[in-house]
Chains A and B, each alone.
Chain A
Amino acid sequence: MQLEEEVEDKFELNISITNPEKVGEFHYISPFSTTLPMFRSKTFTVRRRFSDFLGLYEKLSDKHTPNGYIVPPPPEKSIMGMTKVKVGKEDNSSAEFVERRRAALERYLQRVVFHPSLLQDPDVREFLERDDMPRAHNTQALSGAGFLKMINRATDSLSKMTIKMNESDVWFEEKLQEVEAEDQQLRKLHIMVDSLVGHRKELSVNTGGFAKSVAMLGSSEDNTALSRALSQLAEVEDKMEQLHQEQAASDSFCFAELLADYIRLLGSVRASFDQRMKTWQRWQDAQNMLQKKRETEAKLLWANKPDKLQQAKDDITEWEAKVTQYERDFDRVSATVRKEVLRFEKEKACDFKKQIIKYLESLLQSQQQLIKYWEAFLPEAKAIA
């Protein structure tokens, strides 16, 4: 997979995650191939556990989220995922779940390496190259539910703060509203797509049941031509069962998973806005503290206590420096968030288009198959006499 971006150097970095093998836990093999000079070799393969991926996220988030970066989140630990609705019989070992997780981890890793700043992070390099990773601890907090809880708590406290925003912040305010509205719609959409997956699976099962029933009917029909036509119909419906099953998988993997990814990512986006808020608050708090220190100095001058005055002056200097620093931080983080949001939106547009076109193409192929089956059946039906 190549990413064309406006970054000066175009590079190749192909990552895929294949074949989870069960060795105590699942180990994922990630074959890479790259033209980037920073890596030791051009192609290499490593094995990672699921918890390693979570550990990577934790490290990256700790370092970069406070600076306003949108750090891609990993997939959930639990089967339940986004909507807390169990779609059919699924457990940890089901083939569908395993494949879903594999694909989600692959997309996660691809997003990480295609983030221009994150790619430079030594932890990412280590993750990709190092033969043996020490076990990641404290990944409990990063299970999907925990992650979302953390985000929700942060945004709650955000809304509780009465923040007076000045003119230049209108962009951020509007953006955040957009993000929140989009989040709401995506969640709604995800629930509906999950419902579609469920109904298509049901349709598949019911079509199979119908096929068998028609076959039985055909065998008891005593008109030979009709009997044959009925058994042909049973075959068509059998093939339809298969088709519906495949379609349900496509609904799930192409569409539902895309939505789940972006619901998680929007969480990260809100986290970065959150961080910006925090730096603003820190700056404000520093300004208030500076004000207090100045008041203290004034009081001391008036009370004529020269011995404590030096301390007061030192305090003022300290807090003046802090105010300057925190203001710079706020500006820097704001600029990063802005840049990140634009990068994110571009990536999202590209992603959605690509995935949804892929999904539509699968629907297209389904219809082509359907046409083939019914075209084969029609002469059989006409032959009934």
Chain B
Amino acid sequence: KLCKQYFPVDILSKILSINVDLQTDATLQVDISDALSERDKVKFTVHTKSTLPNFKQNEFSVVRQHEEFIWLHDSFVENEEYAGYIIPPAPPRPDFDASREKLQKLGEGEGSMTKEEFTKMKQELEAEYLAIFKKTVAMHEVFLCRVAAHPVLRKDMNFHVFLEYNQDLSVRGKNKREKMEDFFKNVVKSADGVLVAGVKDVDDFFEHEKTFLLEYHNRVKDASSKSDRMIRSHKNAADDINRIASTLYTLGTQDSTDVCKFFLKVSELFEKTRKIEARVAADEDLKLADLLKYYLRESQAAKDLLYRRGRALVDYENANKALDKARAKNKDVLQAETSQQVCCQKFEKISESAKQELIDFKTRRVAAFRKNLVELAELELKHAKGNLQLLQSCVGVLKGDT
């Protein structure tokens, strides 16, 4: 039934809540201008405007799927040249399973409810589907914008191919063996991560950052899950008010007495207030929950950077030891010297760029939180005032009637 959904551009452009203060200059601007939801995949239209000479045209669009974004992200991670940068976190996989299941159940249960109830529920579920859809588009867009705003990553060949090549990138999903390799890589990384984290860094800046990020990441994780729980309860309460409004309506239409007219007015009020409540929950989701989720992923990416630097440090220290040994034995000294120099350069290069990256991360984080908290507060106020006005006018009318 919901095979193809088509959503206009202006809705999409309003979703960006996390894209803050990114240097969007005329040389390279990327956005997702369209999106199509098909049976089991989402097709994003990636639109680019650029004055850079590398591209054949100044403005062009291609269609990409989620796997291609992941391919691009992984190519950054695997590129040694980018070891000193915070790799923008990959967007999460579009997940409509739960929503689809609910819609299917609704379709099956169509016979057991009234036409009004069915229509209402269908509208609700469609709105939910739309909200999830908007979010996934926003997250894919943010990823691209972060890349486009990064002074080094924006020049990446794969990125340009991603933006311009108008055929399928034929990025097959990882086969079983590759998935296993990934798994082990992650296991090794986390074991190493523990090791590296235990070693106290000589550099104060990095030592502070390590301590800070470890704690911050855990607390953001907790705040993220708690915010999800809170928002879910909020949605549940709004759903209840919706059902209450329906039942009051039924009571109100049973007769034309004063009481029934009263019920109809109250039902109308609850219909309106619950729409506002649902919007409050949705806005909290966008401004708070999504913000926390994003910084959960970003802080993980920052931790990964520290880990890479830590690995480079270990390699450097090992190269030093190897050089000492070679000098002592007077064997393969030149080789050891070269190796040591390579490790030294690598380490210093990473350290230099890592420092800047982490400072930028802080700036971005503070700006994003500021923007979202201000918007959250403004929206909460707007909705509360809306609610208040509805309640006041309704109570006024009801009191006047008696």
Q: How far is the CA of A369 from the CA of B13 in the complex (A)?
A: 33
| Contact between A196 and B241, CB atoms less than 8 A apart | yes
Inside 8 A of A230's CB, which chain B residues have their CB? 369
| Contact between B222 and A216, CB atoms less than 8 A apart | yes
| Contact between B402 and A353, CB atoms less than 8 A apart | yes
A121 interface residue, CB < 8 Å from B? no
> Which residues of A28-67 are within 8 A (CB) of B?
none
Inside 8 A of A210's CB, which chain B residues have their CB? 223, 226-227, 229-230
**Of A196, A356, A361, A363, which contacts B240 at CB under 8 A?**
A196
**Of A181, A189, A357, A384, which contacts B399 at CB under 8 A?**
A357
B395 interface residue, CB < 8 Å from A? yes
Task: State whether A353 and B398 are in contact (beta carbons under 8 Å apart), knowing that A195-B240, A377-B377 are contacts in the complex.
Answer: yes
Majority SS of interface residues in chain A? helix
**Of A185, A193, A349, which contacts B257 at CB under 8 A?**
A349
Task: State whether A361 and B395 are in contact (beta carbons under 8 Å apart), knowing that A206-B226, A206-B233 are contacts in the complex.
Answer: yes
Q: How far is the CA of A206 from the CA of B222 in the complex (A)?
A: 12
**Of B216, B219, B259, which contacts A348 at CB under 8 A?**
B259
A312 interface residue, CB < 8 Å from B? no
Majority SS of interface residues in chain B? helix
B166 interface residue, CB < 8 Å from A? no
**Of A186, A225, A375, which contacts B381 at CB under 8 A?**
A375
Least CB separation from A368: chain B residue: B388
Task: State whether A199 and B236 are in contact (beta carbons under 8 Å apart), knowing that A185-B250, A349-B259, A367-B387 are contacts in the complex.
Answer: yes
B391 interface residue, CB < 8 Å from A? yes
| Contact between A378 and B374, CB atoms less than 8 A apart | yes
> Which residues of B371-395 are within 8 A (CB) of A?
373-374, 376-378, 380-381, 384-385, 387-388, 391-392, 394-395
A97 interface residue, CB < 8 Å from B? no
| Contact between B384 and A209, CB atoms less than 8 A apart | no
Q: How far is the CA of A229 from the CA of B212 in the complex (A)?
A: 18
B153 interface residue, CB < 8 Å from A? no
**Of A202, A222, A356, A381, which contacts B266 at CB under 8 A?**
A356
Interface string of A327-349 (1 = CB under 8 A from B): 00000000000000000010011
A19 interface residue, CB < 8 Å from B? no
Q: How far is the CA of A345 from the CA of B384 in the complex (A)?
A: 36
A295 interface residue, CB < 8 Å from B? no
A374: shortest Cβ distance to chain B, in Å?
5
B25 interface residue, CB < 8 Å from A? no
Q: How far is the CA of A193 from the CA of B258 in the complex (A)?
A: 23
| Contact between B373 and A229, CB atoms less than 8 A apart | yes
A352 interface residue, CB < 8 Å from B? yes
Give chain A's interface residue range (CB within 8 Å of chain B). 35 or more
Task: State whether A199 and B377 are in contact (beta carbons under 8 Å apart), knowing that A209-B230, A360-B398 are contacts in the complex.
Answer: no
A178 interface residue, CB < 8 Å from B? yes
A137 interface residue, CB < 8 Å from B? no
| Contact between B370 and A226, CB atoms less than 8 A apart | yes
Task: State whether A374 and B241 are in contact (beta carbons under 8 Å apart), knowing that A217-B220, A220-B215, A348-B259 are contacts in the complex.
Answer: no
Give chain B's interface residue range (CB within 8 Å of chain A). 35 or more
| Contact between B237 and A217, CB atoms less than 8 A apart | no
| Contact between A223 and B222, CB atoms less than 8 A apart | no
Inside 8 A of A203's CB, which chain B residues have their CB? 230, 233-234, 236-237
**Of A182, A189, A357, A368, which contacts B248 at CB under 8 A?**
A189
Q: How far is the CA of A202 from the CA of B234 in the complex (A)?
A: 9
B40 interface residue, CB < 8 Å from A? no
| Contact between B226 and A192, CB atoms less than 8 A apart | no
A214 interface residue, CB < 8 Å from B? yes
Task: State whether A371 and B385 are in contact (beta carbons under 8 Å apart), knowing that A209-B230, A223-B362 are contacts in the complex.
Answer: yes
| Contact between A202 and B233, CB atoms less than 8 A apart | yes
A209: shortest Cβ distance to chain B, in Å?
5
B363: shortest Cβ distance to chain A, in Å?
9
> Which residues of A179-225 are within 8 A (CB) of B?
181-182, 185-186, 188-189, 192-193, 195-196, 199-200, 202-203, 206-207, 209-210, 213-214, 216-217, 220-223, 225
B255 interface residue, CB < 8 Å from A? yes
| Contact between B380 and A381, CB atoms less than 8 A apart | no
Q: How far is the CA of A206 from the CA of B369 in the complex (A)?
A: 22
Inside 8 A of A382's CB, which chain B residues have their CB? 370, 374
19 A-B pairs whose Cβ atoms sit less than 8 Å apart in the complex: A189-B244, A196-B241, A196-B244, A203-B236, A206-B232, A207-B230, A210-B226, A213-B222, A221-B216, A349-B257, A349-B258, A352-B259, A360-B398, A364-B388, A374-B384, A375-B381, A378-B378, A384-B369, A384-B373
- The 5 lowest CB-CB distance pairs between A and B, nearest first, are A203-B233, A196-B240, A384-B370, A381-B373, A206-B230
B residues whose Cβ falls under 8 Å from a Cβ of A: 212, 215-216, 219-220, 222-223, 226-227, 229-230, 232-234, 236-237, 240-241, 243-244, 247-248, 250-251, 254-255, 257-259, 262, 266, 269, 273, 362, 365-366, 369-370, 373-374, 376-378, 380-381, 384-385, 387-388, 391-392, 394-395, 398-399, 402
A residues whose Cβ falls under 8 Å from a Cβ of B: 178, 181-182, 185-186, 188-189, 192-193, 195-196, 199-200, 202-203, 206-207, 209-210, 213-214, 216-217, 220-223, 225-226, 229-230, 233, 345, 348-349, 352-353, 356-357, 360-361, 363-364, 367-368, 370-371, 374-375, 377-378, 381-382, 384-385
